[in-house]
């Protein structure tokens, strides 16, 4: 299996956003370093999630980019995505691994070392760790853990740690120094006036 990409773009399907336009801008810049996580609003139908994921898989393929599906693992299987991402309200990691199979990419959300190690023991191949910083993108999140929280998790596991929550190119150096392998973003790309340029800045900070 190729190494996990370092720049994770989570689709923004809020009203007025155009996740496929953002993806088309980021793909030629980040190529195989791009992991696209298809994440739809909770009230989206499975059919809507499937149609978006199907398009994302097709767009990613020529660039060697990776497509994952958030929460809805049956959609991941249906579109032949590389894997999925689960958190506390989704299938348990061990069950998700059974659904996706032994070779799939499987991400799990973690905030602290104990649950992080449990998720890895249960079959997670990477961890999404955060929220690192304040974000307006998702409501109801606990307090940010900052680079120190990322460091605590990164010390406890041997899988890639992907920092999430309020991440910008400016915050990447501190997160990398804390042990993050990569970052996952919504707003830093979806809300950027020039998503291609924003992708280049994030990638530059991740790979320098």
What's the closest the beta carbon of residue 184 comes to Mg ion, in angstroms?
12
Q: 131 preceded by cis ω (within 30°)? A: yes
Verify binding: residue 120, ligand LCLJCK34, rule CB under 6 A: no
What's the closest the beta carbon of residue 35 comes to ligand TZP, in angstroms?
14
Verify binding: residue 6, ligand LCLJCK34, rule CB under 6 A: no
Stretch that binds ligand LCLJCK34, among 53-61, 86-94, 97-105, 172-180 (CB under 6 A): 86-94
What's the closest the beta carbon of residue 153 comes to ligand LCLJCK34, in angstroms?
12
- How far does CA 20 lie from the centroid of its chain? 16
Kindly provide the b/e burial profile for residues 47-80, where b requires at least 16 CB atoms within 10 angstroms of the residue's own CB: eebbebbbbbbebbeebebbbbbbbbbebbbebe
Nearer to Mg ion, 38 or 169 (CB): 38
Verify binding: residue 133, ligand LCLJCK34, rule CB under 6 A: no
- How far apart are the C-alpha atoms of 66 and 23, rounded to whole Å? 12
Stretch that binds ligand LCLJCK34, among 11-19, 24-32, 85-93, 97-105 (CB under 6 A): 85-93
* Interface residue list for ligand TZP (CB under 6 A): 130-131, 135, 137-138, 141, 164-167, 185-188
- Residue positions forming the annotated binding site for Mg(2+): 71, 90
């Amino acid at each position: 299996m190729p190494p996990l990409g370092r720049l994770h773009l989570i689709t923004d399907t809020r009203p007025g956003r155009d996740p496929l336009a953002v993806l088309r801008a980021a793909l030629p810049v980040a190529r195989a370093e791009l992991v696209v996580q298809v994440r739809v609003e909770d009230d989206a139908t499975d059919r809507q999630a499937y149609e978006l994921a199907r398009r994302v898989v097709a767009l990613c393929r020529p660039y060697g980019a990776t497509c994952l599906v958030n929460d809805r693992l049956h959609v991941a299987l249906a579109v032949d995505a590389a894997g999925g991402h689960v958190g506390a309200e989704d299938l348990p990691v061990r069950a998700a691994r059974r659904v996706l199979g032994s070779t799939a990419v499987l991400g799990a959300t973690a905030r602290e070392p104990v649950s992080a190690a449990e998720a890895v023991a249960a079959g997670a191949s990477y961890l999404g760790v955060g929220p690192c910083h304040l974000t307006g993108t998702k409501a109801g999140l606990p307090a940010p853990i900052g680079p120190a929280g990322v460091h605590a998790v990164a010390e406890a596991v041997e899988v890639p740690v992907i920092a999430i929550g309020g991440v910008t190119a400016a915050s990447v150096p501190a997160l990398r120094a804390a042990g993050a392998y990569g970052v996952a973003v919504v707003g830093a790309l979806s809300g950027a006036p020039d998503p291609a340029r924003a992708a280049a800045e994030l990638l530059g900070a991740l790979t320098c």
